[in-house]
Amino acid sequence: MAIGVWLASVWVLAPGTARAQASLTLEEAARLALTTHPAIDAAGADVGAATAGVRVAQAGLLPRLAWSGGYTRSNNPVFAFGTLLTQQRFTEADFAVDRLNHPAAAQNFQSVLSVEQTVFDANRTTHAVRAARVQEEMSAEERRARELDVLMGVATAYFGVALAAERVRVAELGVTSADADARRAQARLDSGMTTKADLLAVQVHRASAVADGGRAGGGRRGRCPIR
């Protein structure tokens, strides 16, 4: 986005101080740029993502806690026999042939809690953390570079507006001077001290000054006021 267009749009849309005042200082424009310019916002998001990447890489060095559970219910003879033995609930009565062939449904709930800690992974995790930190530093430098680019653009646009304002002022002075020359030439013509050609020459000069003022004024259209 062009800085000049962005600077004007921020002044028009921003609430609060920037909109309430009649003009912006260079410091105010720079502060607005650093806090609202989309390029800097995007760079800040990249830094945040890179920082999160460091934490993800570091997670490989931390212990991992896992829990799993399961529930089974069946009247399968083998399952029922094994479940009763595992649960130490097998009795002498369970040796009855009928109970062995047609057992009542047995149910079993199993819960497992495990802890894993990486002891050696050929430095893969260490290298991943280093790479993530380098990416974080690169993202931070990229953000600083974008901030400098935006500030340079703001300064260029700001002083461009100041120069345009000065051109308008000079053009307005030129029109005022040309008006005075035209009045003097008309008075001299009325008193017979000059010719019509001299008056026309002065009028042409005034028209040129007015045209210059119009061009200078057009250069300020769409710009935010400054001070």
Q: pLDDT, tens digit, for every residue of 177-214?
A: 878 877 887 887 788 787 778 767 777 777 777 776 66
Side-chain-facing half-sphere of 121: CA atoms under 13 Å:
11
Rounded to two decimals, what is the model's pTM? 0.56
pLDDT digits (tens, 9 = 90+) for 152-165: 999 998 888 888 88
Confidence of residue 20 (pLDDT cuts 50, 70, 90): very low
* Chain centre to alpha carbon of residue 188: 66
Cα distance from N-terminal residue to C-terminal residue, the chain: 24
Q: Are 154 and 29 in contact (CB under 8 A)?
A: yes
Q: Go through 62-97 and write b for each residue having 16 or more CB atoms within 10 A of its CB, e for each that does not.
A: eeeeeeeeeeeeeeeeebbbebbeeeeeeeeeeeee
Identify the three-state secondary structure at position 106: strand
Lowest mean pLDDT, pick from 9-23, 71-85, 121-135 = 9-23
- Residue-wise pLDDT for 93-138, tens only, equals 878 888 888 898 999 998 999 999 988 889 999 999 999 999 999 9
